[in-house]
């Protein structure tokens, strides 16, 4: 016989689908990080200068500190994949796919709040006041850890959550709730012996399976790093001016990526392959206007000038190398 927790879990998943979420899974709100994965990562200095992660560690590893009495963690996913993009024009910058449309924090927060309100309404059926806490990446919740625990996907060797029917091109949202919901079973890891993401990373940032060293990561340096980027990283950045998708582009499971349906997450002309020359000459007002409402503004104007300058040098170096190889090609 189905329990109230079973019935409520089914209804939560159904409502999540009605709100446009592509997947939904549920985990028991036990200890978030029983193997101290986060602390080990911090101890190795892999967070670079992102000190706020260490300062908020206690909140991240214990959902009870965010919402006392949490029984269940609902994890949802929404695809931002928009099919194969055309080849980039010469002398253009590359921006990670998730940042090509409107800022996903703003796009996903509303349907996540609507899902939380629905969960709260289920308390009327068991004569209990239900509380919730929502998070879309910016809160102190380990979304990927909960996604793995809930069986929404498995942790790939690039540290991202993967699904057989969606690959990794999707965004996560979480709802902590005091309502008791039947949890799902964790998903089997299907990476097998594949090392495509590890071998493709140009800076060797994936130091071991599912462990990324931010000090070597192109995404960290083009977005979070406010200082100088080490020359050893610059040389391998290619044309990336915001984020990096290389480890996802080579993942075999992304052959099955599900195309996203939310119009706000579709690429904008102003973010898709911007001219490096324009970026290096862009003043702050133009930068703010061009990238208004997108995640790209996180790098700030100064950061974009730095990134675009590096990308331009890499492009010129590549062009010279190609010319040299052409000139010295054997007849």
Sign, Cα dihedral of 88, 93, 96, 102: negative
- The residues, any chain, with a CB within 8 Å of residue 50's CB and separated by 6 or more, are 214, 220, 224
- Residue 175: closest CA among 34, 295, 7, 8: 8
Write the CA distances from 210 to 42, 155, 156, 201, 292, integer angstroms. Answer: 14, 7, 6, 13, 33
Question: HSE-up of 189 (CA within 13 Å, CB side)?
Answer: 14
Task: At 255, list the tokens.
Answer: 């052959």
Tell me which of 28, 33, 62, 137 is the catalytic residue.
137
Q: State yes or no: is 137 an active-site residue.
A: yes
Q: Which sequence positions are flagged as catalytic?
A: 137
């Amino acid at each position: 016989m189905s329990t109230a927790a079973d019935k409520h879990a089914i209804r939560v998943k159904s409502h999540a689908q009605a709100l446009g979420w592509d997947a939904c899974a549920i985990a028991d709100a036990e200890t978030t990080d029983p193997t101290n994965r986060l602390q080990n990562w911090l101890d190795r200095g892999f967070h670079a200068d992102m000190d706020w992660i260490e300062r908020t560690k206690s909140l991240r590893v214990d959902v009870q500190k965010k919402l006392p009495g949490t029984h269940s963690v609902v994890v949802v996913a929404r695809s931002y994949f928009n099919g194969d993009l055309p080849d980039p024009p010469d002398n253009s910058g590359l921006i990670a796919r998730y940042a090509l449309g409107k800022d996903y924090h703003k796009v996903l927060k509303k349907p996540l709040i609507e899902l939380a309100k629905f969960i709260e309404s289920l308390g009327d059926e068991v004569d209990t006041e239900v509380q919730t806490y929502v998070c879309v990446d910016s809160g102190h919740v380990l979304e990927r850890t909960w996604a793995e625990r809930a069986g929404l996907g498995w942790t790939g060797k690039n540290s991202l959550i993967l699904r057989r029917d969606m690959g990794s091109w999707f965004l996560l949202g979480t709802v902590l709730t005091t309502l008791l919901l039947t949890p799902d079973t964790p998903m089997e890891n299907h990476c097998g012996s594949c090392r495509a993401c590890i071998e493709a990373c140009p800076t060797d940032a994936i130091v071991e399976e599912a462990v990324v060293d931010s000090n070597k990561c192109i995404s960290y340096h083009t977005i979070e790093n406010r200082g100088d980027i080490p020359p050893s990283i610059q040389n391998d950045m290619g044309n990336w001016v915001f984020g990096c998708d290389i480890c996802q582009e080579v993942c075999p499971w992304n052959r099955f990526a599900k195309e996203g349906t939310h119009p706000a997450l579709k690429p904008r002309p102003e973010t898709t392959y911007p001219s490096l020359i324009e970026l290096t000459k862009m003043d702050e007002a133009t930068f703010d206007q061009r990238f208004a409402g997108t995640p790209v503004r996180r790098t700030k104007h100064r950061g974009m000038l730095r990134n675009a300058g590096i990308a331009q040098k890499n492009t010129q170096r590549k062009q010279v190398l190609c010319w040299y190889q052409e000139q010295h090609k054997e007849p």
